[in-house]
Amino acid sequence: MKTMKKIQTKNKNLSIYIHIPFCESRCYYCDFYSSVFNSEIVEKYFSHLNIEIEKYGEFLEDKIIDTIFIGGGTPSSVNPKYISNILNKIKSLSTISKDCEITIELNPNSIDENKIETYLDSNINRFSMGAQSFNNDILKTIGRNHRESDIFNSVNLLHKYNIKNISLDLMLALPNQSMRDVQLSIEHINKLELSHISYYSLILEDGTILKKMHDKNSLNFPSEELDRKMYHYILNSLDNLGYKQYEISNFAKPGYQSRHNLNYWKLNNYLGLGVSSHSNIDNVRFYNFSNFNKHFKALSEDNFPIEDSENLSIKDRINEFTIMGLRLNSGVNINEINKRFKIDFREYYREEIQKNIDHNLIYIEDNSVVLTKLGLDLSNIVEVDFLRL
């Protein structure tokens, strides 16, 4: 795909994801496209990222940017001037909404006062920190290069600048993780005064170091029963602390839900920039090369670095909207999906709805289809039921 003329939308609102594929070291569970920090490649990467943004200039000129998410990799591992320059480039080509949510991902041991001040000067207003665990032994086992003390020091540093919108990523089902580890994490969360918590269950991806260690039975992973026990404890404990669950793995204080992620889950338009990033504009999905050389080559030849694209059918979009909606505590809004796709949802999914109600996996309230507590545990089964092939 050499031009963006094939991608058009009447919708002016847009989210942007910027992929920064650099890390100081590679975590043992990670299968994202990333590279251990190399200053020469970093310089070249951001130079080409600027070129990529410029190529989207005509597409961006009438857009209102509602959210920007700078992810990775570890964006905080690079000089903050690169982040500032990229944001300025986007601002020069589009309209940034007055309440635009701009998030940057951080590692606990890779931020300092200079970086925070540069981020704030660039209007970054949401800080998402990858903690994963408060247990130093577990952190070492999964290849993290920070320690528990780094988490506290980094959060306190953010508080020093009166930053309120701080999110912490934690993980469940990690090797050697116990119920006591989860209980301690809740105690630490309470002390840290955060606004948002993401608590994801570990997924063992093929090709990762942790998956190989698991297959060799060299690590002790929590049982499925213990994993569910931990998850239920987290649900209840975070609710008691004022963090309301709004998605299967996400919890927020009032007013601090991740608007960027909600745009993903509600199938709103987003543009991905950088190597391996994905985009979705109306019914067109496309993704960039997951290779530095191919990415750089395409841009040097004045092409978009897009590896492939697909036009999604109405059925595809209904599938995604329904499955994503089921992950949200607000559920699938029947009026919204009917209006958006010109269907009668209750009739379209009549058998699936009745089956899952009979099995106590979903219920209908305020004209929305919502997972029950049992449905939260068996969400994958429910999602498969609503997937039309």
Report pLDDT digits (tens) over 280-309: 999 999 999 999 999 999 999 999 999 999
Q: What is the pTM of this model?
A: 0.94
Residue 37 has pLDDT above 80, yes or no: no
Q: 297-331: string of b/e by CB count within 10 Å (b at 16+)?
A: ebbeeeebbbbeeeebeeeebbbbbbbbbbbbeeb
Instruction: From residue 217, give the alpha-carbon distance in Å to each of 167, 221, 225.
Output: 33, 9, 19
The strand ranges marked E within 10-113 are 13-20, 22-23, 35-36, 64-72, 95-106
Contact (CB, 8 A) for 175 and 205: no
Angstrom distance (rounded) from CA 92 to CA 60: 10
Long-range own/partner contacts, residues 357-363 (CB < 8 A, 24 or more apart)? 362/326
Angstrom distance (rounded) from CA 196 to CA 94: 29
Q: Which two tokens stand for residue 203?
A: 């997924």
Q: Which two tokens stand for residue 261?
A: 């992620």
Q: Is 35 exposed, middle or buried (0-12, 13-18, 19+ CB in 10 A)?
A: middle
Give percent of the chain with pLDDT exceeding 70: 95
Q: Which two tokens stand for residue 343?
A: 């269907």
Residue 318, classed as helix, strand or coil, is helix
Which among 57, 64, 70, 60 has a CA at the least distance from the CA of 100?
Answer: 64
Angstrom distance (rounded) from CA 220 to CA 214: 8
* Domains with residue ranges and CATH for the chain: 13-265 (3.20.20.70), 314-385 (1.10.10.920)
Is residue 376 very low, low, confident or very high in pLDDT (cuts 50, 70, 90)? very high
pLDDT score of 358: 98
Is residue 212 very low, low, confident or very high in pLDDT (cuts 50, 70, 90)? confident
Residue 217, classed as helix, strand or coil, is coil
